[in-house]
């Protein structure tokens, strides 16, 4: 089969097909042939005709079924993939094809799994509804923070910052992506001390509080750390899903630790930032959900991250849209957030998301407790339909935050 044999613009994808949407930019060949090259090289074809090809192989060929501008859609027979094996799936549709000389650029925009393939994975254990039940927060956005500075604090100070954040009104406190088990803040000591702070804050505020400790490590060590969280009475773990890898993430999920999995996407921009090459965040979100995370960073629109509103909305859709019988994932907005940005965030996300602010809480002039109060006040004001400026007249923490972080 030649590359053009994989192009069939009259083909109608089957319910059992896996489909991908790409941006294809050819190098020295026609767009149609380049699209066929992607389909061929990611299924049963290669650059030349083969003497080993059998007639029955053709039924496993991928089909280019749509070409509009540079946007190409390809359908893959589900028989090409081993169920519950994400490395196999991604090695096919997002593997060698990115290195073809015949392509100047290739970007994977979307991936849609057939029901049987999606449901061969466990998917989220908790999802949005389970997280809300755990935290006993039925409607409003959840308010979270990241311990800052991200590295450098000793265990005692880390636990104190967490306590202050919870005391001020945060529901969630989490480690940052590169805090592991450094000598100045060892994992086990941090876990015990910070959960003690959680318990104290819960007693004093009469609100549920959770701690997302970063368990990212070599897979076996990651599993041991997850078990430690269970043993110490924790309910959450945080994982850097891209740097630890899909197989490690799946191994963690398959243990059924009964822990909420918070997915940090550290390193994603190496794949996602270019608009013409690489992998968009939406397929990454789809894969993470299918494997089984419960929460996922998706961008902010506002704040310090570069994604556009359209991209963030696509990421949210990947978290929440119907996907077989899989539970929806709770989107997380994080990166350069502060109280003044809350109305814009809620306009984009609605109420089902986590507002996760680090510097925007710990950078409050009156400290972490006041910073957490200001963030909760901004959420309340927006829920009540009041402007932040109006609400700040009777809430001093919010007033000071607005004077600190301008529009």
Residue 294: predicted pLDDT: 98
> Which residues participate in catalysis according to the annotation?
148, 264
pLDDT tens digits along 238-294 = 999 999 999 999 999 999 999 999 999 999 999 999 999 999 999 999 999 999 999
Superfamily name and number for 3-118: RuBisCO large subunit, N-terminal domain (3.30.70.150)
Rg (CA), the chain: 23
CA angle (201 as vertex; 196, 343 as ends), nearest 5: 130
Provide the residue ranges of all domains of the chain, joining segments of one domain with +: 3-118, 127-404
Of 5, 130, 146, the residue nearest 62 (C-alpha)? 5
Nearest-angstrom CA–CA distance, 270 and 214: 21
> What does the pLDDT average to over 116-125?
96
Secondary structure (3-state) at 79: helix
Residue 50: predicted pLDDT: 85
pTM of the model: 0.95
CA angle (92 as vertex; 49, 177 as ends), nearest 5: 155
pLDDT over 80 at 407, yes or no: no
Q: Which of left, alpha, beta for 297 (phi over 0: left; psi -120 to 50: alpha)?
A: beta
CATH topology identical between 3-118 and 127-404: no
Q: Is 51 exposed, middle or buried (0-12, 13-18, 19+ CB in 10 A)?
A: exposed
Let me know if domain 127-404 sits in CATH 3.40.50.300.
Answer: no
Give every CB contact of residue 167 below 8 A, 6+ residues apart in sequence. Answer: 201, 204, 205, 369, 372
Q: Evaluate whether 294 touches 127 at the Cβ level (below 8 Å).
A: yes
pLDDT over 90 at 111, yes or no: yes
């Amino acid at each position: 089969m030649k590359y053009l044999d994989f192009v069939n613009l009259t083909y109608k994808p089957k319910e059992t097909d896996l489909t991908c949407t790409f941006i294809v930019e050819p190098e020295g060949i026609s767009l149609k042939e380049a699209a066929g090259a992607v389909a061929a090289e990611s299924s049963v074809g290669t650059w030349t005709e083969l003497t080993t090809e059998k007639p029955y192989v053709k039924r496993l060929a991928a089909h280019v079924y749509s070409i509009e501008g540079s946007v190409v859609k390809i359908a893959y027979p589900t028989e090409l993939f081993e169920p519950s094996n994400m490395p196999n799936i991604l090695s096919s549709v997002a593997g060698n094809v990115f290195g073809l000389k015949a392509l100047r650029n290739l970007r994977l925009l979307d991936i849609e799994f057939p029901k049987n393939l999606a449901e061969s994975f466990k998917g989220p254990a908790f999802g949005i509804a389970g997280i809300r039940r755990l935290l006993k927060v039925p409607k409003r956005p959840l308010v979270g923070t990241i311990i800052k500075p991200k590295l450098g604090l000793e265990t005692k100070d880390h636990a104190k910052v967490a306590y202050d954040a919870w005391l001020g009104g945060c529901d969630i406190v989490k480690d940052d992506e590169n805090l592991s088990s450094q000598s100045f803040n060892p994992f086990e000591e941090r876990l015990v001390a910070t959960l003690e702070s959680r318990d104290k804050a819960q007693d004093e505020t009469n609100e549920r509080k959770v701690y997302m400790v970063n368990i990212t490590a070599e897979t076996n060590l990651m599993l041991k750390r997850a078990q430690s969280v269970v043993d110490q009475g924790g309910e959450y773990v945080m994982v850097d899903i891209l740097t630890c890898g899909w197989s490690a993430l799946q191994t963690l999920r398959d243990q059924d630790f009964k822990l909420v999995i918070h997915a940090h996407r550290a390193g994603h921009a190496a794949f996602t930032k270019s608009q013409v090459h690489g992998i968009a965040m939406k397929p990454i979100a789809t894969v993470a959900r299918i494997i089984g995370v419960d929460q996922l960073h998706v961008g902010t629109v506002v704040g310090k991250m570069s994604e556009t509103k359209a991209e963030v909305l696509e990421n949210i859709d990947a978290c929440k849209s119907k996907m077989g019988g899989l539970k929806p994932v709770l989107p997380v907005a994080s990166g350069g957030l502060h109280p003044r940005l809350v109305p814009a965030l809620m306009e984009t996300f609605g109420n089902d998301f986590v507002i996760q602010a680090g510097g925007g809480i710990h950078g409050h002039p009156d400290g972490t407790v006041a910073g957490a109060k200001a963030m909760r006040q901004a959420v309340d004001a927006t829920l009540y339909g009041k402007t932040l400026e109006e609400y700040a007249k009777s809430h001093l923490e919010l007033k000071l935050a607005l004077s600190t972080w301008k529009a």
